[in-house]
Amino acid sequence: MLKKGSKLNSILTGSCPKCQEENMYVDPNPYHLKNIYEMHEECIHCGLHYQIEPSFFYGAMYVSYALTVAIGVAAFIIAKVFIGLDLIASFAAIIIALLLLMPVTARLARNIYINIFVHYDKEAAKKK
């Protein structure tokens, strides 16, 4: 499922989408909030420049919105249908879930967005 060369591998691990050899982020832990968006300039393995163009990752906001909506709907369904909480408690569950998963969704949105534009290259992975 997470074999090297798949988009899912790069998205979930935060690795370079071109060679999948290096982590794109300076600090791999998204819960270190001070460094949440701090990325390497380029991949030391294949040389891919992560900031493809100025303000490239602004487009990741749209992906983040979609992820946030999906998490909110899932949290509501789990709280209301499966656990049986009342409406106010269900909305509180949505807020708690979104706050706790904010660092993960921020990183996932960037990972998904760059993987839309950059594809795995076997030759780049063999370099070095």
Contact, 48 vs 119, CB < 8 A?
Answer: no
Compute the chain's Rg from CA coordinates.
17
Distance CA(15)–CA(23), nearest Å, equals 4
Q: Tens digits of per-residue pLDDT, 25-49? A: 999 999 999 999 999 999 998 889 9
pTM to 2 decimal places: 0.88
Average pLDDT of the chain, as a whole number? 92
pLDDT digits (tens, 9 = 90+) for 68-102: 999 999 999 999 999 999 999 999 999 999 999 99
At which residue do the structure tokens 């909110």 appear? 72
Q: How far apart are CA 29 and CA 104, in angstroms?
A: 9
